[in-house]
Amino acid sequence: METVTTIDAIRDRVTGWRRAGQRVAFVPTMGNLHAGHLALVTEARRHAERVVVSIFVNPLQFGAGEDLAAYPRTEDEDARRLAEVGADLLFLPQEREVYPHGRECITRVEVPEVSEGLCGASRPGHFAGVATVVAKLLNIVAPDCAVFGQKDYQQLLVIRRMVRDLDFPVTVVGLPTIREPDGLAMSSRNGYLSREERARAPALYRELGRLAAAVRAGRRDWPALEREAAAGLASAGLRPDYISIRRADDLGPALPDVPLIVLGSAWLGRARLIDNLLIENS
């Protein structure tokens, strides 16, 4: 696997592959890779002859007071693991390569509706930061397909909407969440948890599972169910940010007889955990 740091180098390699008739799949990440990220790379391999992965801790998607400075950076180990799972090219740009005029005055991509509420309410500007960097990365790499995790479900919908609205010629693939054996969704931020917090962290998955089971069983008193799940999180020692039952296709308010999703976010020590479960045939 080759590692490059410049836009010119990425374009040069991808152009060469295209000339040889090869398809290109792309997996954008912020690094500190775990089995969830590696599953995206393995999925990407199924869609294309060549796989490009980026590692860029995008400052634009972090709010003031968030964990930009503390975000774990483990590029050497990440590159080793990516080579093992068969990535062809790692794009590891410096901030000035991505934001040459500085990050304050960059042209931004705002995705309406689906960016609002849930994580968008707790993290103002976050999804504009995500959409902007993903738009740039898609223009830099120009892949045939790009693979994202359903763990960040709202982010996946933001990207799908942006790709449709702005006509990016790319297929967006979403992959189910990869979990630890006790159900906790894998996340780079799980490394912030103390041993004692780590033992409590699966409560988020557990409460979402209970909530999903109640909805599947036919309960329609959704606000009461959300309150019960939030109380369950609090009694497990987590500080709920939101617990919500929504429509799966656009995250609008839940309705009977459409596919639904339960989503939750909670603070545990320094970590803000997020997770979700799809409810088919609700």
Instruction: Work out whether 175 is an interface residue with ligand AMP (CB under 6 A).
Output: yes
Contact 162, 135 (CB under 8 A): yes
Choices 79-87, 183-191, 220-228, 246-254; region in contact with ligand AMP by CB under 6 A: 183-191
Task: Rank residues 34 and 247 by Cβ distance to ligand AMP and give the closer one.
Answer: 34
Please name which of 268, 26, 249 lies closest in space to residue 133, comparing C-alpha atoms.
Answer: 26
Residue holding tokens 């890779």? 33
Nearest approach in angstroms of CB 11 to ligand AMP is 22
Instruction: Work out whether 185 is an interface residue with ligand AMP (CB under 6 A).
Output: yes
Instruction: Work out whether 201 is an interface residue with ligand AMP (CB under 6 A).
Output: no
Kindly report the backbone phi and psi dihedral angles of residue 145, in degrees, each rounded to the nearest multiple of 5, phi listed first: -145, 155
Contact 127, 115 (CB under 8 A): yes
Binding track, positions 13-32, relative to ligand AMP; x by CB under 6 A:
----------------xx--
Instruction: Work out whether 47 is an interface residue with ligand AMP (CB under 6 A).
Output: no
Please name which of 126, 137, 120, 128 lies closest in space to residue 172, comparing C-alpha atoms.
Answer: 137
Ranked by CB distance to ligand AMP, the top (closest) residue is: 149
Nearest approach in angstroms of CB 204 to ligand AMP is 13
Active site residues: 37
Task: Rank residues 39 and 261 by Cβ distance to ligand AMP and give the closer one.
Answer: 39
Of 10, 13, 37, 56, the one binding ligand AMP by CB under 6 A: 37
Residues near 171 by beta carbon (within 8 Å), at least 6 away in sequence: 47, 144, 145, 146
Binding track, positions 140-159, relative to ligand AMP; x by CB under 6 A:
--------xx-xx-------
Question: H helices within the chain, ranges in order?
Answer: 7-19, 35-47, 75-84, 95-98, 119-122, 126-141, 153-165, 195-200, 203-216, 222-235
Q: Can you tell me whether residue 131 is helix, strand or coil?
A: helix
Task: Rank residues 8 and 77 by Cβ distance to ligand AMP and give the closer one.
Answer: 77
HSE-CB of 72 using CA atoms within 13 angstroms: 16
Give the binding site for ligand AMP (CB under 6 A).
29-30, 36-37, 39-40, 148-149, 151-152, 175, 177-178, 185-188
